[in-house]
Structure 1
Amino acid sequence: MNRIEKRMQELQQRGEKALITYITAGLPDMEGTKKLIRAQEEAGVDVVELGIPFSDPVADGPVIQDASYRSILKGTTLRKVLAMVKELRAEGCEQPLIFMMYYNTVMSYGVQNFADACVEIGIDGLIIPDLPMEEQGELKEALAGREETVIIPLVSPVSGDRIPKLVGDAKGFVYCVSSMGVTGNGGQFHAHVAEYLKQVKAVSPIPVMMGFGIRTAADVLPVKDVIDGAIVGSHFIQLMEESGYDTEKAKEYIRTFKTELNA
């Protein structure tokens, strides 16, 4: 059982919903990323998605695209992010961490080398939007027999008959995309999002999270009884940028969201 699975089990035992946030690695700088992760851990966030900047982030909207671009200009690389996470773990950080990234970066680093590095430094999960289930074989083989790092499945409103296959042997949690298109749609959810989430929940052996376009806990109230938690990305990045990456603002947002989500 890795950190994500342990946290989800603890939440279920307490009858609570999870909050997952997304930040772009390397912003405001590498040390600032470490401080922001620590602040979120202190505030009680359940999982942090750490975005690995990429030149063509096809699943992301303008906010995350811009953040990725600015991080690249600062010299952020996968190798540097791996080193930063290794430092965090050595300093005692037990926050569940996920890499959200694109497969070109994995291939460039070397699939087996990447898998080994993730397990070694304590990356608990991987979200790779451009790696469909049918093409995950090499990465799954590289991670075979090691439960420390799991591949998080992405499910969309048009997944339909593929949903049971996508979640059948999945680990960690299921990432349910709430709308078609890219991240940061600002609450413009799919017209039949509740029915779709119920369809996923009915067949998923693991917790179901809703992401894309979420800003406040109020955004997920209509489906609160269906999902096991919410994922906030673009809005959280905007909040950090507007506040100059104020860690107290991050803590305040997380604590408020968690309180309202579990009211």
Structure 2
Amino acid sequence: MNRIEKKLQSLQEKKEKAFITYITAGLPDMDHCAKLIRAQEEAGLDILELGIPFSDPAADGPVIQDASYRSILKGTNLRKCFELVDGVRKDGCELPIVFMMYYNTVLHYGLEAFAEKCAKVGVDGLIIPDLPLEEQQPLKDALAKQNATILIQLVAPVSGKRIPEILKDAKGFVYCVSSMGVTGQGASFHKEVISYLKSVKEQAQIPVMMGFGIRTAADVAPMKDIIDGAIVGSHFINLMEENQYDLDVAKAYIQTFKTELK
């Protein structure tokens, strides 16, 4: 059981919802990014999605695309992202960390070497939106040898009959995409989002998280009896940009969201 699974088990025992944020690695710079990770842990964040910048982030909207582009211009790459995680781990950080990334980056690094490095530095999970179920086995095999990092499965409103197959061996949590299209659509959820989430919840053996377009806990209030947690990405990046990555602003947002989520 890794950090993600331990954290979610603890939350379920306390009957609490999970709160997950997304930040882009390397913004505003690597040193401050490390401080932001620690600040979020101190504020009570449950799981962190760390975006690995990529030149063509197909699942992401304008906000995360722009953040990814600016981070790349600053020289951020996978090696530096590993160093970032390694550094906060050595500093005592136990916050579950998930890499949100694209498969080209993994392939270029090499599957075996990538899995080994994830295990070594303390990457707990992976979200790879452009890696379909049918193509996952080589990476799953490499990860299984290390028994440290888990591959998070995504489902969407159009997954339909594929949901049981996707969830069959799913680990950690299920990432439920709340709308069609890309990230950052501002609570513009799919018209059948409630029935879709109920369907996933009925079939899942692990916690169900909802992401894409969430800004406040009020956005997910109609789903509070279905989902096990919420993920905020684009809105949190905007908040950080507007406030010069102020750590106190980050902490206040997380604490407020967590309180309202209860």
Classify the TM-score, shorter chain: over 0.9
Letter in 1 for 2:199: Q
Instruction: Please list, as runs of the form range in 1=range in 2, the aligned pairs for 1:228-243 lying within 5 A after superposition.
Output: 228-243=228-243
2:257 counterpart of 1:252? no
8 A Cα contact 2:115 2:146, kept in partner = no
Does residue 1:152 correspond to 2:145, yes or no?
no
Name the counterpart of 2:123.
Answer: 123
For 2:204 and 2:211, the matched residues in 1 are separated by 16
- 1:28 maps to which residue? 28
Structure-to-structure mapping, 1:59-98, within 5 angstroms: 59-98=59-98
Q: Which amino acid aligns with 1:186?
A: G
Cα distance in 2 for partners of 1:229, 1:148 equals 23
Deviations 1:133-165 (A, max 9, x none): 110011011012433200000000000001011
Give, in whole Å, the separation in 2 of the partners of 1:91 and 1:258: 25
SS in 2 for 1:140: helix
Specify the code of the residue in structure 1 equivalent to 2:57.
P
Q: Which amino acid aligns with 1:18?
A: A
Q: Which whole-Å CA distance do the structure 2 matches of 1:69 and 1:39 have between them?
A: 24
> CA offsets, 1:95-134, max 9 Å, x none?
0000000000001111111111001111000000000011
SS of the residue 1:213 aligns to: coil
RMSD between aligned residues: 0.6
State the distance in 1 between where 2:204 and 2:77 align.
34
Separation of aligned partners in 2, 1:109 and 1:235:
30
Cα deviation, residue 64, structure 1: 0.1
Q: TM-score, normalised by structure 1?
A: 0.99
Q: Which amino acid aligns with 1:168?
A: K
Distance 1:78 1:145 in 2: 21
SS of residue matched to 1:21: strand
Identify the residue that residue 42 of structure 1 maps to in structure 2: 42
Deviation at 1:21, TM superposition (A): 0.2
Rounded to whole Å, the distance in 2 between the matches of 1:179 and 1:110 is 32
Shift of 1:25: 0.1
Residue pair 2:7, 2:46 contacting (<8 A) in 1 also: yes
Give the letter for the 2:121 counterpart: I
**TM-score normalised to the size of structure 2?**
0.99
Match of 2:146, SS state, is coil
Q: Provide the residue aligned with 2:168 in structure 1.
A: 168
Q: Percent identical across equivalent pairs?
A: 69
Cα distance in 1, alignment partners of residues 67 and 112 from structure 2:
28
* 1:9-49 superposed Cα distances (whole Å, 9 cap, x missing partner): 00000010000000000000001110000000000000000
Query: 2:182: which partner in 1?
Result: 182
Question: Contact 2:48/2:97 (CA < 8 Å) preserved in 1?
Answer: yes
**Structure 2 residue ranges without an equivalent (≥5):** none
Segment of structure 1 superposing worse, 51-60 or 146-155: 146-155
SS for the counterpart of 1:175 is strand
Structure 2 residue aligned with 1:206: 206
Moved over 6 A (4+): none
Q: 2: CA distance between counterparts of 1:95 and 1:137? A: 27
* 3-state SS, counterpart of residue 144 of structure 1: helix
Find the counterpart in structure 2 of residue 12 from structure 1: 12
SS in 2 for 1:22: strand
Could you tell me which residue of structure 2 aligns to residue 106 of structure 1? 106
CA distance in 2, matches of 1:207, 1:55: 31
The answer for unaligned runs of 5 or more in structure 1 is none
1:225 alignment partner in structure 2 = 225
